[in-house]
Amino acid sequence: KLQQEAIRKLRFSAKKTMLVAQQLYEGIELESGDHEGLITYMRTDSTRIAQEAAEEAIALIREHFGENYAIEKPRFFKNKKKVQDAHEAIRPTSVFNMPDKIAPCLSEDQSALYRMIWQRFVASQMQQALIDNNSVSVGIGDYTFTASGSSVKFPGFTACYMSEDDAAEDRESDSGRSKMLPPLSEAVELNIGKYEPKQHFTQPPPRFSEASLVKELEENGIGRPSTYATILTTIREKGYVDFINGYFRPSELGFIVNDLIVASFPDVFTVDFTAKMEDDLDRVESAEADSLNVLNRFYEPFKKELDAASEGMLNMKGPGFPTESDCPECGKKLHIKVGKNGHFLACSAYPECSFSADYTRDEKGKIQPVSPPEEEATDKVCEKCGSPMVMKRGKYGHFLACSAYPECRHTQSADSGSNGGGEKIGVLCPEPGCGGEILQRKSKRGKTFYGCSRFPECSFAIWDKPADKVCPSCGSKFLVEKSTKKEGTFLACPNKDCGYRG
């Protein structure tokens, strides 16, 4: 819930939420000079709280909000099944470390997250809000219009905190205005300010956001609070999904990996298996199950599937992955393959039929073949001979080429004049006599690489990020950034025969 609420309310990522929470847990130096941990352990899904913590919150409520906001005795919450209850719920170590009081000692992110944790915990020990739900019918000629809304009789806990779910219910989805209705009585006459005819259509459910995906993992028993952020980070960094406008969309790599893995390991890559494995691990922890029995029960069928996959899993560079689409030239099925330019469709009857094409997927993942032209006209002119430039596709994406080829072989970046189709990193191309700049770019699989801005005239490209430093050992014109879990980030020579690390 901490991650879900911070994503929606503070616009934090799950990873950032846990990083900032870790800082609050480890402690901050306050104005008194004391180094104090501000929250309890944050990698837990327990809702259990200590008696003294609840009583402390009630005392603060009486002092700062008033007697009518305080409950008579502490309110406790039962844990759900499968909860790891070794720790309390995530709460302030002391409610008297009030957010405004300690804000000068915290960064902006720390202050925002601490305030949310503090407010939510204090609100959990406050009186309930009293809300009047109203429904009004308004007669205009032969027509009757209805409106539903609510009015607050007593704010209760909402005077301290309102969750993002509750706040969303109080906002109009299209205008952001509150659904609160003004005081009305029967037979009162109303004036028409304006009316707006609107037509609404059923919308498909949205794709997962970080918050809704964490909620889905939680409800299906997949992972634990300590692993949610890692799961979300991994699927992005591996290129299985794209994160667009706050929502996850499966990438082409994600579609292919999912299809291959699920086909080869149907018993493992299911929600039921993952949730049951979490349950088995909990039973092992509580000595209700033997770890070797659990491991053997998993490994024996898994080993069979693993051996079968090593022999029979489809090779994307060989036969490829079958689709439901038919070849427009010979009628045989089209297969997805991977080549030097990324994913493409090719006829399964190759080499008898040499048809190939790019493709797209619709919202449901259905494949749609696309046959783009070999070259596309542009409004740019060749700076060497004055002929029109055309757009072509190469190994590292699209580029501009002179239409007078082969008489004129001039080419340039498709985004020439701005940043060359990538982000500058402040390093010149190391190729002799080139003069281009190294740009950070994305491959078709979504992986970051670094290439020359003068591509395709210069084909320099490298996976590791170059640094504008000469190797002190072999004299290489640049070093590259490397990182390991043990050593962290360091600079190394790209020359394999050198081996310099610094």
| Whole-number Å distance between alpha carbons of 102 and 36 | 11
Task: Count CB atoms within 10 A of the CB of residue 502.
Answer: 11
Look at the alpha carbons of 97, 98, 100, 101 in this order and tell me if their dihedral is positive or negative: negative
Cis preceding-peptide flag for 197 (omega within 30 of 0): no
| Whole-number Å distance between alpha carbons of 50 and 44 | 15
How far, in Å, are 4, 72, 91, 117, 235 from residue 161 at the CA level?
A: 16, 20, 14, 10, 33
Give the residue carrying structure tokens 């301290």: 160
| Whole-number Å distance between alpha carbons of 277 and 294 | 9
Going through 13-118 in order, the beta strands assigned E by DSSP cover: 28-29, 35-36
| Whole-number Å distance between alpha carbons of 95 and 53 | 8
Q: Are 235 and 13 in contact (CB under 8 A)?
A: no
Q: Residue 168: which residues within 8 A CB-CB, separation 6 or more?
A: none
Task: Provide the residue type at 487 as one letter.
Answer: E
Q: Are 467 and 272 in contact (CB under 8 A)?
A: no
Cis preceding-peptide flag for 388 (omega within 30 of 0): no
Q: Are 229 and 3 in contact (CB under 8 A)?
A: yes
Query: Exposed, middle or buried: residue 95 (CB in 10 Å: 0-12, 13-18, 19+)?
Result: buried
Q: Are 387 and 402 in contact (CB under 8 A)?
A: yes
Which position among 25, 41, 114, 359 bears the catalytic label? 41
Query: Exposed, middle or buried: residue 256 (CB in 10 Å: 0-12, 13-18, 19+)?
Result: buried
- C-alpha atoms less than 13 angstroms from C-alpha of 306 in its C-beta half-sphere: 6
Q: Which residues are paired to 394 by β-bridges?
A: 397
| Whole-number Å distance between alpha carbons of 229 and 18 | 7
Task: Count CB atoms within 10 A of the CB of residue 371.
Answer: 12
**Token pair in block for residue 38:** 């501000």
Is there a catalytic annotation at residue 41?
yes
Q: 130: helix, coil or strand?
A: strand
DSSP secondary structure code for residue 8 in this structure: I
- What would you report as the CA-atom Rg of the chain, rounded to the nearest whole angstrom? 30
**Token pair in block for residue 299:** 């490994």
Going through 106-185 in order, the beta strands assigned E by DSSP cover: 130-140, 143-154
| Residue positions annotated with a catalytic role | 41
